[in-house]
Every structure is written in C-alpha cells, then in structure tokens.
Structure 1
Amino acid sequence: MPTDAYSLLDEPGIPVRWVPTAPDPATGRLTGSLGLRDVLVRSADIAGLAIPVPPAHSALLRILYALTARVTGLDEAGPGDWGERRQQVLDEGRLPAERIEKYFAEYRDRFFLYGGEGGRPWMQDPRLAEQCDPGNTAGVNKLVVTRPSGNNHAWFRHGSDSAPDLPTASEALLNLLVWHYYGPSGRCSSREVNGIKSASATAGPLRTALSYHPEGDSLFETLLAGLVPPETTVRRTEDRCPWEWDELPDPDAPPPVPAGPCSRLAACSQHAVLLVPDEENKEYIRDAYITWAYRTGRIPRDDNYLIWQISQQGNRYPRPAKADRALWRDLDALLLHEPVGASQPKQPKVFDAAFEVSEFLRVRALGFEQEGQAKDTQFVDASTPPVLGYVEELAPRTAPAVARMRQLGEMYGQRLDRAVKRAWAAYTEDAKADAGTWAAEAAARYWPRAEDEFWARFRGLDRSGRALDVGFDPAATRAAFLALAQEAYDAVTGSVTRTLRGAKAVSNARVELYGGPRKKRA
C-alpha cells in the first residue's frame, strides 16, 4: 500500500471516552481518538465510544463485536462451554493482545480506508469507479447523513453540493457505516454490471429500527456482553466478514446468506460505497460513490439486538426507532422472555446471556427515526440505569412488577391522550378538529414525569427474593401515574375552562382518564 493510505488500524479515527484510571502508558496523556487496533487492545481502559451520531455508534459496535469474537475465539461454539470461555476472557481483564496483533497482521491490507490501484479499501467496492458514472457521483454531502444534499431541506447545517466542505477521513468512515446499516431503499446512483444499468437499492438491515445494547463500565465489558453464542454448526471459515472475503461478491448474483454471527454482524449491507480521497490532502474525502450492492434479492433481515414483534397482518418486524418514546417503555421487552402485548414482542437475543458478564449492565438504545426510503427524522440515543440484574433468570419475582409498572405508565399516557383530544373536539364542536397541539403538550408534560416515577419505583424493587411482593404496591403505582395524568390534563385544558362551553367539554372528557364512560348493562 502507498505510504499516504489511511490505515484504520493506526490512524486515530474512532472517538473514545476513557475510564478515570486510564493514563496513557507512554506519555501519561490521553488522546480523544484511537485507531481500531488500540480500541481493542485498550478496551479495558475505555469507558465507551464517544461517537455523536447514534446510528454510526450502533454500526461500529457491530463491527467491534465481530472483531472481538474473532480475536477471543468466541466466534465458534466450541471447544468446551462457550459461556465458560467468555468468562475466562473476562477474568483476564483484557482482550488478548497477541491474538489481536496476529489477526490484524493477517488482514492488514484490508483495513485501509483507501489505497492504491488494485487494493481492497475497507467495506468498499473499488469496482464502482468503473461501473458508475464519474460525472454523476453521490458526493460528500450525500455521504454525510447530517448534511442536506440535492433539494433536501437543511437539517443540522447549510451546505452546497457545488462547493461542499470536505469531510475528514474519520467523519467519512462513520458515515460509510451508517450507509451500510441504515441506507435507504429506492433511487440511487446508476451502476452498470454485465452491460445492464440499474439505479434501485434495497434498504439497509437496520433502517428504521431501534438497536439495544448491553453496556458495561468499560468497552471491554460492553463488547463481551454484546456477543451472542453461535450455533454449533457455525464455522469461521464460512462465517466471514467482508474484509475477509477472498473475492468481492457478484452484484448480479443473489446476496449471500449469513452463515453465523460475524457475517450477520458485518456482511448484511445492501449498499455499495466507494470513497474518493482528496488528491492534495489524504486526510479528507473529496467525493463518494453510493449505489446498490445486489441487483436482486435481499439478505434475510435478522439481528440479535432488536426487539422483534408481530404486526396485525402477522408479519415479523423490528420495533421502530421513535425519538419521542422513552426507553423505559421498552424495559419489560428487554428483561422478560415473554412480555405481554398484542404485538408479541421478543426479547433481543443478546440479552439471553449478557447478564452473565455483569448484573450491573445498563442498556443503550441507538437508532435513527426514518422512513423506508429517503426521509430521515431524528437520531435516537438513550440509556437506562443498571437493569440487567432484573432479568427474568436472576430475579423472576420482579418480572410481573416490571411489566405491570410499564403497563400502568402506558395506560395513563394513552388515556390522557384520548381525554385531551375528546375535550378539544367538544370545545370546538368539531369531531374532526386537529387536537395535535393539546396532545403534544399533554405528552410533553406527562411522559418525562412518568419516566421519573417508573425509575423511582423500579429502584425500589427487591431482587433478593425475601419479599413476596418484591416491594411493588399496585394501588400506589396506579394512583401515582393517574395523578400525573390528571395534572397534565388540568394544565393543558385550563385555558378554556373560563367559559361555560369549555368547562363542560373539559369536565365531560375527564372521564377518559378513568377508563371512559361505563357501558350500560343490557
């Protein structure tokens, strides 16, 4: 590789946060970013990734999970018990530096962000330089998901496609990952393969979904807790990451089906990307090709870090990312194997054994509220206090209490929404009147306080098994959430109660807070 190529292993392109007791071994100083090799070697000294873009954080965690599985030998079920082997790594306190060096030495040439002619830039397809029109590239504004491009509205900043600010290699790396995991379906740059041009892409494997990750006190704990035991049939020679492929896949052939956890983590992209470095300064990216990876077919959508649920039509789909939905409302689906609900939510598979690393693990939710095609709305990044000590295996008696607290909080939030909408319709004397303003204000008043109430009661649950009721008082919990709904309702509707019509509308609609009008018996 040329000397000016950007090596992901060595260049400090990944932002990190250090644990308080982690001085730099050479200088006593700490840097804010590291190369991929040092992220793994020093994972026990790193508190976590400091990536400001949640979907990039989620994507990079999956890459790090795959690498962790490789260098620890936890990418296969045997030899011996998988859980015991993970515990041995945990007891050693660090990832094995020798095996990290050996692995990266084997694939060193595959970890360049860009390189010379004939190279295989990391997670990219160099064939795009010939298969796509160089005069009609995607451009760097399209590559960086927080920038406006084309005729789209500005989101975080203004910019120009004709004279864009060039992103750094580090920024381009993170956005490259976002495209691989969260890229949209629909129209893309045209790509010609075997004499046929196509310009339609399939959505990325995580598009619209909310991703849940166990999080420890160090990145080392986080990575070990994020591993899922592979099936006994998995073989690392078949379960390969993209940088391990002998040859790039045929775009005209159906996409390869993942053969195990590593390929499921890193090789499910439906997009092909190629970064073009700036000729004068290789620290910057001048242009980018972004197009489809496979002309037909779709990699089966499966992921061990999502809550999977069933639609009314009987279809399986991941719980979508919603920026206005607090994480505690998903807690029973994270802690319980069979949470209640019409959608039949299934606990992310990663939580089956994550608590074996530590019962003090938190849960980090990362995602991107999006539509299937072009529309991106808002990032989602939320974290819980330590909760995995309450998983059903460790504290089975707390399971009904956690579920019931979540249900009560949800129920009174829904009742509040119905009440303010009914009050507005009655006040305006228009059943179809838009009550969005009242509903939004009521939600803004209720949900943050309901979250505080939930966590306060959650922390009071007894995990020892000595208290039969685990410290849960259903009547008091119901009264607490009802009081929050009442206060929000009174605050939102108070401005119209000075008139007779308004007071009557508000008074009649209040019954929705208590479950609605009672049905008369026949």
Structure 2
Amino acid sequence: MRELFLRAHQFSGLAVAVPPAASGLMRVLYAMAARITGLHELADGSVETWLDRRYELLEDGSAFEPARVHAYFDEHAEGLRLYDPVRPFLQDPRLAAECSGSSGVNKLVMARPAGNNQVFFGHFTDTEQVALPSAEAVLHLIAQLYYGPSGQCTPRTVDGQRYGNTMAGPLRRTLSCHPTGRNLYETLLLGIPAPDTWPQSTDGSDACPWERTEPINPLKPPKPAAGPLSILTEQYQHAVLLRPSPDGESVVDATITWALRVNRPEQQDPYLIWDESRDGTLRPRDADAERALWRDLDGMILQNRGDGGRRPPAFDQLTGGQLPEPVFRELRVTAYGFDQDGQTRDRTYFSAMTPPLFALLDSTGTEADTALALGVKEGREAAEKAAWHLATALRTAWREYTKPPAEDRSGGSTGKPAKKQQEKNPGPWPEAALAAYWPAAEERFWKLLDAEDFTTALPSFGRIALRVYDDITASVAAEPRGAKARESARGLVLTLLARGR
C-alpha cells in the first residue's frame, strides 16, 4: 500500500479480479488518501475551502506527498500487517480464544462453494481446504467484511454469551459506483466524499480500524459514524481471523463470525444509488447481473430524478466548476456489483465502466440537470418500454400459437386447469428475444448519447424490438397457424413506431 500511494499518479487504476473486493478496497484507499491529504476534516468549517483544497491537489502534475505517505504508513504499520499478532489488518485476534472452531478457507472465498452454495470457478469441498496465497486472501477478507452473508456462522462466545449468527455486510447485493479519473491518484481524490455528506466530529473519534489500538466491544451497541473514515471503513458486521501457513505465504484456515449483536446506526453510503421504496424510505439499488450499466446511468448523474430517489452522494461535488477542466472532461464511473440475495446466496459479481460523463454533468455549478442528462433518462425509459412491448407481444403470440383447439378447450373439467397453465407459460420466445434485444439496445443508446439527441429514442428502440420480434417468430411464419399468431400480436410492437412520429 505504501508503494501504491507513492506511485498512484503513475498507475491508470487497480487490477482487482474480484469486484466486491475492489469495491471494499476502494473505500479503504479513499480513507487512507483522505488522511494523507488532510481531506478527512473540514478545517475551517467551509465546504468551499475543502473543494478549493481538492482542486489544488487535482491540478496537473500532482501526486501524493512522499513525506506524508511515509509518515502515515510508519505510524500505522502494526495495524496494517496482515498477520500482526496483536492488531492484524481488519481482523479480530480475540477470535482465536472466543471461537472453538473455524470456518475454513472455502468460506472465506466467495467464489468457492461452501456448504450448499453453488460452484463459481472451481470445485472445492469442505473436507479438503486449499490454501490461499496471502496476496489474494487480503482481498477476500475485505470482500467478506463488506459483502458477507447473514445467518448462521461459526459460533463465538463473549463474556459467557454464545451466538452463532450474524448480520449481513453493509454492501450486500448492492451496486457501488465510483468516480474514475485519468490515473489512480485522481481516482482516489475524486472518490473522497465531500464534507456535506458525512457527520462532523470534533472529538477526534473518527478513525479507521487499523488506526485504533482498542478493539470494539462486540456486546455493546455500536456508535454512529463520526466522519468519513468510519463511514468508509467501519460499517462491517462480521469478525474475521486468518490463520497463516508457517512461512506466512498463504492462509490455511479462517474464522468468520459475528462482530456485533446490534445493527450499526443507518448511514447513507456515498457510492450507492438510492431509490425510494413504497413507504417513502430510501434503499440502495440492488446489483443485477442481467442489467447493463447504461440502464443505471441516469440514476448516477441526475440531481432531480423526479421519483424521490437520489444519485450517489459522492457525485454531488463533481461539477465542472469544482474540478480542473482536464480532470472534469475525462471523468468516468466504475461500477462494482454483486448479485446476491439478502442472506446467503451468491449468484455472480461484475464490474463495468462508463465513457467520460462531462457532457452529462453540470458544468456551471447550478442546480439544474442538463438537457442531455434528462435525455439519458428518457432514452432508458424508452428502451425499457420497448422491451416490455416486445416481451408482452411474444408471450401473447406464443399463447395464440400453442393454444389447444377450441373443442378441446371448451369441454370437461380438465380443460380449465390446462388453459390456466397454458396462460401462465410465457414460452421460450420472450427470453430469447430479450437476450438479442438488450445488446442491440445498448449499442443504439450509446449512439444516441454520442449524437446528443434522444428525441427519437422510442421509435429507434421500437425498430430494434420489431426486428427481434420478426426474427424470433420467423420459424413459424410459413404455416397458417404460426402466421396468424405472429400477426395477431405484432401490432403491440408496431405501436412504438407510431408513438414516435
């Protein structure tokens, strides 16, 4: 990590193969960058002064000051050693005495099957634990703390109280969006949340876990976040302890258990898209592996979405007037998603990056969204409407094509259940159609954005939907029954073209 900060201006970015680990690691690095630069505090109470300081740090040719980097890592060296006997990095050494058993290396690695979880990239069994190189283990440690499951875990006994269950990690099943600059130095500074997104603490209690000398009391209610450092690095619900091999080159066992008995006070994470639920509360947008990043683009950039939701708070202070022009014009977003349920099931993880977003972000410092940013929302809504028309039309066509003859449907008590079952079955056409539609729709979306014109979005996506509809139903078009079914529902897609005139 010391070298990473000394050479951050020379690196284009991080190459972390596990997206949930990258998401958590970025938060760790943001906190370190905030400490090293002093952007973790609001010295004179002025957000404008804070933004001016960040502007100076982002000017061309800038880099982290070597003396401050060395001072930080020298001061906190003990808490930043993975296998330190007293303060191992992001771990709780008390687990060695408080847990009678261990969880195993397979449990640490989310991509390995443990218990009844599915296989991701390789076959592993609980009876044969395969050691994990230390350099990889630290990434999976971070992923566990931020995305770990809820439910049963290795039992832990504290002061005579034994529990074997834990709560979910703070980022579980979410889509995490991060500003990205031209190099890692810019990326880390752009990702530090501005003072108006975190509570102001004057007692010096805001700190990272590796900076604290005293561990948290697992049986006491946790205190609310005191500032940006605790928001970024101390929202975990799990406690982990790694057991290294004799040479320290790998992890041979791991214990994963509960860290607290009470949920931490709610805190709005600065990198999540927040949607309004039916009861009016805000909840983070779920990661969906079947949903491409461009469909979340308006959720990242719009200041006023019109639906009660809000973009990631970290994006609020990224306008043109608050950033040097070269930095602003190359600003992109990297998103990390982990498609999970809220408890234990892990489906898949993914990452994606947008092109530069300067044309969509406010460059004047006003509160209004740009016309093009509003057009992005209209384009996304048009694409989703065309997808709905396409899927609905194909379900209708399939039912018409496969329905039994009239004399079979109208007689006997056995006809009704058969008809009901037939109506519930969407058939194979909608799924195949959407698999072909969405990649084509994404390509069209970026062309519309490049042209900076979404006025013809609905008919544009409608033509894609109509082409896909015809391709999917072409195999039955030559027979009378298929041709009739095809034409009976085709009008639902054709209406998209008419609405765009």
TM superposition score normalised by structure 1: 0.85
Contact 2:223 2:264 in 1 (8 A): no
C-alpha displacement at 1:515, in angstroms? 5.3
State the alpha-carbon separation in 1 of the partners of residues 376 and 125 from structure 2: 50
Equivalent position of 1:6 in the other structure: none
Letter of the 2:304 counterpart:
E
1:397 equivalent in alignment to 2:364: no
Equivalent position of 1:423 in the other structure: 397
Contact 2:395 2:426 in 1 (8 A): yes
Report percent identity of matched pairs.
40
Contact 1:311 1:317 in 2 (8 A): yes
Contact 1:424 1:433 in 2 (8 A): no
Q: How does 1:419-458 map to 2 (within 5 A)?
A: 419-429=393-403, 430=419, 431-435=422-426, 437-458=428-449
Q: Any idea what the Cα deviations from partners look like across 1:7-63, whole Å, max 9, x if unmatched?
A: xxxxxxxxxxxxxxxxxxxxxxxxxxxxx1111111100011000111111110000
Contact 1:335 1:388 in 2 (8 A): no
Equivalent position of 1:5 in the other structure: none
Contact 1:185 1:374 in 2 (8 A): yes
State the alpha-carbon separation in 1 of the partners of residues 134 and 429 from structure 2: 46
The structure 1 segments of at least 4 consecutive aligned residues displaced by more than 6 Å after TM superposition are none
1:233 equivalent in alignment to 2:195: no
User: Structure 2: any 5+ residue segments left out of the alignment?
Assistant: 404-418
Equivalent position of 1:100 in the other structure: 69
C-alpha displacement at 1:453, in angstroms? 0.8
1:478 equivalent in alignment to 2:448: no
2:285 to 291, 299, 319: 319
Q: 1:421 to 1:194 in 2, by over 3 A?
A: same
C-alpha displacement at 1:286, in angstroms? 0.8
Equivalent position of 2:88 in the other structure: 121
State the alpha-carbon separation in 2 of the partners of residues 491 and 417 from structure 1: 13
1:38 equivalent in alignment to 2:3: yes
State the alpha-carbon separation in 2 of the partners of residues 124 and 272 from structure 1: 6
1:345 to 309, 334, 354: 309
Q: 1:436 to 1:164 in 2, by over 3 A?
A: farther
C-alpha displacement at 1:513, in angstroms? 1.8
State the alpha-carbon separation in 1 of the partners of residues 43 and 223 from structure 2: 25
Matched residue SS, 1:391? coil
1:284 to 250, 259, 272: 250
1:388 to 349, 358, 361: 358
TM superposition score normalised by structure 2: 0.89
More helix by share: 2
Letter of the 1:306 counterpart:
L
State the alpha-carbon separation in 2 of the partners of residues 411 and 442 from structure 1: 14
Q: How does 1:258-337 map to 2 (within 5 A)?
A: 258-279=225-246, 281-337=247-303
State the alpha-carbon separation in 2 of the partners of residues 506 and 247 from structure 1: 70
Contact 2:181 2:331 in 1 (8 A): yes
Letter of the 1:100 counterpart:
V
C-alpha displacement at 1:216, in angstroms? 1.2
State the alpha-carbon separation in 1 of the partners of residues 313 and 145 from structure 2: 22
State the alpha-carbon separation in 2 of the partners of residues 446 and 193 from structure 1: 55
Q: Any idea what the Cα deviations from partners look like across 1:104-155, whole Å, max 9, x if unmatched?
A: 1111111110123xx110100000011111xx31100110111112343322
C-alpha displacement at 1:249, in angstroms? 0.7
> How much is the aligned-residue C-alpha RMSD, in angstroms?
1.9
State the alpha-carbon separation in 2 of the partners of residues 191 and 73 from structure 1: 38
2:480 to 472, 476, 500: 500
Contact 1:370 1:378 in 2 (8 A): yes
Letter of the 1:39 counterpart:
L
Letter of the 1:456 counterpart:
K
**Aligned pairs, how many?**
464
Equivalent position of 1:459 in the other structure: 450
User: Structure 1: any 5+ residue segments left out of the alignment?
Assistant: 1-35, 462-471
1:146 equivalent in alignment to 2:111: yes
State the alpha-carbon separation in 1 of the partners of residues 173 and 451 from structure 2: 34
C-alpha displacement at 1:403, in angstroms? 2.1
